[in-house]
Structure 1
Amino acid sequence: MNAIANTTDADRLGTLLAAQRTAFLRDGAPSLAQRRADLVRFRAALIGHRKAIEDAINADFGHRSRYETAIMEVGGVAEGTKYLIRNLRKFMARTRRHVALHMRMGKARIEYQPLGVVGVMSPWNYPVNLALMPVATAIAAGNRVMLKPSEFTPATNTLLAKMFGEIFSEDQFAMVTGDATVGAAFTALPFDHLVFTGSTAVGRAVMKAAGDNLVPVTLELGGKSPVIVAKGHSLDQAAASIAFGKLLNAGQTCIAPDYALVREDDVESFVEVYDRKVASFYADGPTSEHYTSIINERHHARLRGLLEDAGAKGARIVEVGNRPGDASRRPNTLAPTVVLGVTDTMRIAHEEIFGPVLPIFPYRDIGDAIAYVNARARPLALYYFGADDQDRRKVLSRTTSGNVTINGTIMHIAQDDLPFGGVGPSGMGAYHGVEGFRTLSHAKGIYEQGRWNLSNLLHAPFRQPIDIILNMMLR
C-alpha cells in the first residue's frame, strides 16, 4: 500500500499532508473498533518482524545487542500498544462536567476528538521505540500520521516502511526520509500537532518553525539527567542499577544517568564497585555481543573529544570493566569509563554526554547535591538511591525534572500509565498514559442547554429577576 516518500521536495511533503487531511475530513473520526483493529495490526506487525528489526538496527549501529533491541524497542512498543488497546474505551469516553446552579437545566461534557494529521520526528538512538510509540498514540487518538525518522538509521527506516506499508494506506500513515533539508521542510508543514524527539538545540529550531503555522508541539529533548546516591545506601545495589542505565545502548539513551553525585567519603568505593558490576555485565569487555557500539564515527569522535578535553584540564579518566583496551578492536566502540575531578571548565560538565562515560561528583550533604542539580537546566530524568526519609523528600520536593525513578534507573519509561516528557530545556508536553492520548486529541467542551433555562433573562431589556441571578452569582 505504502512506500517511503524519499524526497527533498517540500511540495511532495505538502501533497502527502493534503492527502491525509482530505482523507481525515472525508472519513471523519474512526470508531473505537477501527482504532483497536489498527493497533492490533500495528502490534502484530511489530512482533512478527522482531528478528528483522534486530538485524536492521544491528546494521545501522554496526553492533547493537539483540536483547537490548528486543527489550527496549520491540518489547517497549508492544507493551505500550497493548496498554492503549486495553484502555482506549476509557480514554475515548465523554466526561461530564459541572454546571452552575442557575443553569442546572443544561448539561456539560467533554468529548475527545482527533486533531487531524500529526507529524512525528524521531531520533536515531531508539529508531523503533521513539518513532512508533508516538505513532501508535496518534492512531489511538484517531489521527492520521506522517513520520520523519532519522537519516542515520537507513536499514531500520526501510524495514519500517515495508512493514507498515503492507497494512496502512499512505493517507493514514506515511513515512518520509531524508537529511536535515527534508527535516526542515517537515517541521515547516502546518500539522495539527508535531511530536519531536531529539536534542535541545534542534528542538528550539523545530519549535520556531512550527510556530510560523501555530502548530502545537510536544518536545522530548533530553539533557543531563543526574543520579544521587544517598549516604548509607548500598553501593552494590546503586552501582549495578547505574551501570545498567548508563551502559544500556552504550549510554545513547535520552534518560540515561548523565552524571552521579556520590557522598565524598564513598567516591572511591563506588568506583571500585561500579568497575566490578560493569565487568560482571560484560564478561568479554567492550567487544561483548551484549555491548552496543556508538552509532557512527562522528559521535564516537565527539565522545573522545569530551574525554580528551577533561583529561587535558586535569580530570582523572578511568576505564572500567574487563579488557577496556579491546574497544579499539571494534569500530566506533568506547569502553565504559568514569571521570573524576571534573570542573566547570570542562565540556563534559555542561554537554549532554550520550555515551558510556560517567562523571562522578562528590558532595558533602544532600543540600549540596540539590544545589548542584538546581544550578543546571532542568533534566528529563532524575534518579535517587536512598531510604524513604527526609533527604529523599527534600530531593523530590526541591528539584524539578521530567520524571523520577527511585532506587533504580530508566524504568519509569516502562510504566505505560505514567506520562513521559521533559520540563523546560528537557522538553514540553508528554506522551504515554492518558496524557499522551489527550495531547493528541482535542478536548471539545459541549454545553447542551435545557428546554427550561435562564438565558432569556440575560439580555435586554433587563428586568428585576436579573438582580436575583446576579446576587446568586456574586455571593
Structure 2
Amino acid sequence: MAASELENTVRIRDVFDAQRAFASITALTSAGERIEKLKKIQHYLLKNRDRLAAALQTDFRKPVAETALTEIFSTHNELKTALSNLKHWMKPHPVATPLPLLGTSSYVRYEPKGVTLIISPWNYPFYLTIKPLISALAAGNTAILKPSELSPASSAFLREMVKTLFAEEEVALFEGNATVAQKLLELPFDHIFFTGSSVVGKEVMMAAARNLSSVTLELGGKSPCLVDETADIDAAARRIAWGKWVNNGQTCVAPDFVMVQRSVKDRLKKAIQEAVRGMYDPEGKGIAVSESYARIINDHHFGRVKALLDDALEKGATVTMGGQTVAGDRFIEPTLLENVTSKMKLMQDEIFGPLLPLIPYDTREEVIRFLASRSKPLALYIFSRNDSATQYWLDRTTAGNTVINDTMIHFAHTELPVGGVNQSGIGKSNGFYGFQEFSNARGVVKRQFGITEYLYPPYSDKVKRIIQFLLKYV
C-alpha cells in the first residue's frame, strides 16, 4: 500500500470514529437545532448558486437555466419541505391499540440510525448529494459524503461547502476514485445511501451485508414510456423530448425507450422532431451550437453511448432523427431510432444518453409481455387520455414510480416516495420518506392497565374462555 493511500485510509477511519463518537450528541439534537443546520445549507446554496452553475458548466457544459431548475430549485424544494415539516416528523406518531392490548398506548418514534455514508453520482452531482444529506441531518445523523470523481468541479464545490458549514465529526467529504469508496464501504456504517448504476449497487449491497448496514439504493434501468392512440400527441412529444434530452439524457429516470401504438407512431415521430427543434434549434443553426444542450460527461461515456448507437445501426436500426456525433466535443445529437430489436445492446443496457428507441405496438397484451420479460424499471411513463387504459397499465406492470401524461416530474415531488423496486432500487427518498430512510422507526408500548395478565398460566377454564373470546376478533 502506497504511503498516500495508507494516509488516506487512516484519515477515513479517524473521521469515521470521530463521527461515531459524535453521533450520540447529534441524536439528542432538537428540531430547532437540526433546522439551523438545514438553513446553513439553504443560505450557502442561495449565496453561491452562480459558482455552482459555473462548476456544472465546467464538468459537462450544463446550461445555467438547467442547473437552476434541476439542481438548485430541486434542492431548495427539498430543504423547504424539511424545514416546514421537521417538527412534526420528529414528534411521536400515535398508533391504534388492538383489543388484546387494551389498556396500553403506543406510538412510533423516529430516531437517528447513527453514522451514515452517502455515495452520489456525477449526473446531478449537487442535488443527488445534498438531497440525502438533508434527510440524514433532519433525522439527526452524522454523514460522510463521497461524490463522484467524474464531476471534479462540482465535487470541489461540495468539498468547500461542507468544510465551510460543518465540523468533520458532523459532516465530512472524501473525494477520490473507486478505491476511496471501497475503503469507506469497509467501515460499519449504520446506513448507506447509494445513487448510481445497478452494477455498482450490487457491490455496495454486498459490502453493506458484511457489516449488516442498512441501505438505500437509488439505481436505474430502462424506464419505458407508453403512448396509446388516445394520447395528446403534441403534448406527449414535448414532454418526452424534455424528459429524454434534459442533461443530454444522463438522467436515471429519463425515458429509455418509447412504445407507441402503431396507428399514431408517425404522428408522434414527427411531433418529437418538431419538439426537439423547438427546444434546441429554434433558429436553425444546429443543435451543436445550442446553449441549451449539455454534453456527455467524459470521453469514456461518449464512447460507451457511441458504441450503443453503432451496434444498433450495424444490426439494422435506422436513425429517423439526429445521429450526428463529435468526439472532440463529446457531442451526440438528440437521436431517434426505429427498427430496434432486443438483440441490440441499447435495448439490453440502460442507455443513459441522448438515444431514444421508438417501438411500435398493436395490442396492450403485446406491451405487457414485452415489459414482463424485463427488469422492473425505476419509472414508467404512460401517455393516454383513456382512464381504463391507464388503469390497465397500472394493474399489470410494476415500477418504482409512474407518471401519467408527463415524464420525470415525480422526482421533485416531496410528498411522494421516490425510488426503485428490486433491480432498479431499494428504499425510498424525498420529504418524509427520506427522513424515514435515515431513521429507525422505534415502536413504543406503554402499559397503563390491561387484560394480558389474565392470560398467564396456569391455563384454567377461565383463561381459556378469555382466549376463545379474543379469537373471535382475529
Q: Which amino acid aligns with 1:294?
A: I
CA contact (8 A) 1:29 1:113 kept: no
Superposed CA RMSD in Å reads 1.9
Deviation, structure 1 residue 100: 3.8
CA contact (8 A) 1:224 1:352 kept: yes
Describe the SS at the equivalent of 1:113.
strand
Which residue pairs with 1:126 in the alignment? 124
Alpha-carbon separation, structure 1, partners of 2:26 and 2:63:
43
Identical positions, percent: 36
Which residue pairs with 1:21 in the alignment? 20
Structure 1 residue 113 and structure 2 residue 111: aligned?
yes
Describe the SS at the equivalent of 2:137.
helix
CA contact (8 A) 1:6 1:177 kept: no
For each residue in 1:78-97, what CA deviation from the matched residue of structure 2 results, as whole angstroms up to 9, or x when unmatched? 01110111111221121222
Deviation, structure 1 residue 465: 4.9
Instruction: Say which of 263, 288, 291 aligns to 2:290.
Output: 288
Instruction: Mark the CA change 1:457 to 1:317 in structure 2 (over 3 Å): closer, same or farther.
Output: same
Which residue pairs with 1:85 in the alignment? 83
Structure 1 residue 135 and structure 2 residue 133: aligned?
yes
Which residue pairs with 1:12 in the alignment? 11
Any residues of structure 2 matched to 1:165-176 within 5 Å, and which? Answer: 165-176=163-174
Alpha-carbon separation, structure 1, partners of 2:183 and 2:62:
31
Q: Which amino acid aligns with 2:58?
A: A
Instruction: Say which of 325, 346, 356 aligns to 1:348.
Output: 346
Which residue pairs with 1:414 in the alignment? 412
Structure 1 residue 209 and structure 2 residue 211: aligned?
no
Which residue pairs with 2:31 in the alignment? 32
Alpha-carbon separation, structure 2, partners of 1:366 and 1:7:
58
Deviation, structure 1 residue 99: 2.9
Structure 1 residue 469 and structure 2 residue 466: aligned?
yes
CA contact (8 A) 2:59 2:297 kept: yes
Alpha-carbon separation, structure 2, partners of 1:34 and 1:159:
25
For each residue in 1:292-350, what CA deviation from the matched residue of structure 2 results, as whole angstroms up to 9, or x when unmatched? 00000010011110111111111102333xxx75x539610111111110112211111
For each residue in 1:445-471, what CA deviation from the matched residue of structure 2 results, as whole angstroms up to 9, or x when unmatched? 111122x44455454566665334323
Q: Which amino acid aligns with 2:18?
A: A
Which residue pairs with 2:184 in the alignment? 186
Describe the SS at the equivalent of 1:135.
helix
Instruction: Mark the CA change 1:276 to 1:8 in structure 2 (over 3 Å): closer, same or farther.
Output: farther
Alpha-carbon separation, structure 1, partners of 2:452 and 2:406:
57
CA contact (8 A) 1:7 1:178 kept: no
Q: Which amino acid aligns with 1:22?
A: A
CA contact (8 A) 1:65 1:292 kept: yes
Alpha-carbon separation, structure 2, partners of 1:395 and 1:459:
52
Any residues of structure 2 matched to 1:253-292 within 5 Å, and which? Answer: 253-283=251-281, 284=285, 285-292=287-294
Which residue pairs with 2:302 in the alignment? 300
Q: Which amino acid aligns with 2:77?
A: E
CA contact (8 A) 2:228 2:261 kept: yes
Deviation, structure 1 residue 433: 2.9
CA contact (8 A) 1:315 1:342 kept: yes
Alpha-carbon separation, structure 1, partners of 2:398 and 2:369:
12
Using the size of structure 2 for normalisation, the TM-score is 0.94
Instruction: Mark the CA change 1:221 to 1:235 in structure 2 (over 3 Å): closer, same or farther.
Output: same
CA contact (8 A) 2:27 2:111 kept: no
Alpha-carbon separation, structure 2, partners of 1:286 and 1:91:
47
CA contact (8 A) 2:243 2:408 kept: yes
Which residue pairs with 2:145 in the alignment? 147
Which residue pairs with 1:233 in the alignment? 231
Which residue pairs with 2:47 in the alignment? 48
CA contact (8 A) 1:8 1:178 kept: no
Which residue pairs with 2:317 in the alignment? 315
CA contact (8 A) 1:6 1:176 kept: no
Q: Which amino acid aligns with 1:291?
A: Y
CA contact (8 A) 1:121 1:131 kept: yes
Instruction: Mark the CA change 1:239 to 1:8 in structure 2 (over 3 Å): closer, same or farther.
Output: farther
Which residue pairs with 2:221 in the alignment? 223
Any residues of structure 2 matched to 1:415-434 within 5 Å, and which? Answer: 415-434=413-432
Deviation, structure 1 residue 272: 1.9
Deviation, structure 1 residue 424: 1.3
- Which is worse superposed, 284-293 or 453-462? 453-462
For each residue in 1:165-223, what CA deviation from the matched residue of structure 2 results, as whole angstroms up to 9, or x when unmatched? 21211111111111111111222221111110000111011100100000111111110
Deviation, structure 1 residue 443: 1.1
Which residue pairs with 2:67 in the alignment? 69
Alpha-carbon separation, structure 2, partners of 1:8 and 1:239:
53
Alpha-carbon separation, structure 2, partners of 1:172 and 1:437:
17
Alpha-carbon separation, structure 1, partners of 2:373 and 2:104:
51
Deviation, structure 1 residue 64: 1.1
Instruction: Mark the CA change 1:12 to 1:273 in structure 2 (over 3 Å): closer, same or farther.
Output: same
Instruction: Mark the CA change 1:105 to 1:252 in structure 2 (over 3 Å): closer, same or farther.
Output: same
Alpha-carbon separation, structure 1, partners of 2:288 and 2:132:
32
Describe the SS at the equivalent of 1:379.
coil
Instruction: Mark the CA change 1:27 to 1:215 in structure 2 (over 3 Å): closer, same or farther.
Output: closer
Alpha-carbon separation, structure 2, partners of 1:302 and 1:436:
33
* Runs of 5+ unmatched residues, structure 1: none
Instruction: Mark the CA change 1:413 to 1:373 in structure 2 (over 3 Å): closer, same or farther.
Output: same
Deviation, structure 1 residue 366: 2.1
Describe the SS at the equivalent of 2:380.
strand
Describe the SS at the equivalent of 2:32.
helix
* Runs of 5+ unmatched residues, structure 2: none
Alpha-carbon separation, structure 2, partners of 1:472 and 1:165:
63
Using the size of structure 1 for normalisation, the TM-score is 0.93
Describe the SS at the equivalent of 1:212.
helix
Alpha-carbon separation, structure 2, partners of 1:343 and 1:463:
71
